[in-house]
Amino acid sequence: MSVDTPRRIVLLRHAKADWPEVSDHERPLAERGRKDAPVAGRRLADAGISFDLAVCSTAARTRETWKLAVQELPHRPKTVYEERVYEASPGELIAVLNELPEDTADVLLIGHNPGVQGLADVLAGSSESDAAARMARRGFPTSAIAMLTFNGSWKSLEPGAATLFDYWAPHE
């Protein structure tokens, strides 16, 4: 694939989690999260992006979100469970994306806040779009999705290199 081919990065925050007496990493989805995750999956399917790869945090709530959301997609992308996505800063998430294989055009990253919202903000820079305005207004609630595009190699992905072209949050 050419580095001139537009690439898409779709960020999905895990669905609403419960707060049982377990470690943060092992927190499961709450009932609302189990309802919202398939809705987010349908939104991803409606976007018409054929993901080459899904990169998912190893936390229970992200794995459960992905398990419910992926059932709504027309095809299941290869999935990598990446422990570095858990509690990652935007810079750490960029480092994970910088390592993606160059033949990957479209990636879905399933992670946590504040990292995923920070990543969307950092990659999009001063994007002045309707999507950016909605994200600024809504924040990045659970099950929210940000869709960005950029040109270049994964190794060249850096702050300000992408454009936010869509944003969705449940209950909008």
Residues flagged as binding site: 61
Q: How far is CA 155 from CA 78, 81, 158, in A?
A: 20, 20, 8
Cis peptide before 74 (omega within 30 of 0): no
CB distance 122 to 90 below 8 Å = yes
In eight-state DSSP terms, residue 84 is: G
Is residue 95 helix, strand or coil? helix
How many angstroms from the chain centroid is the CA of residue 97?
A: 11
Binding region for substrate: 61
Q: How far is CA 17 from CA 26, 30, 73, 123, 133, in A?
A: 10, 5, 22, 26, 26
CA–CA separation, 133 and 27 (whole Å): 31
How many angstroms from the chain centroid is the CA of residue 18?
A: 20
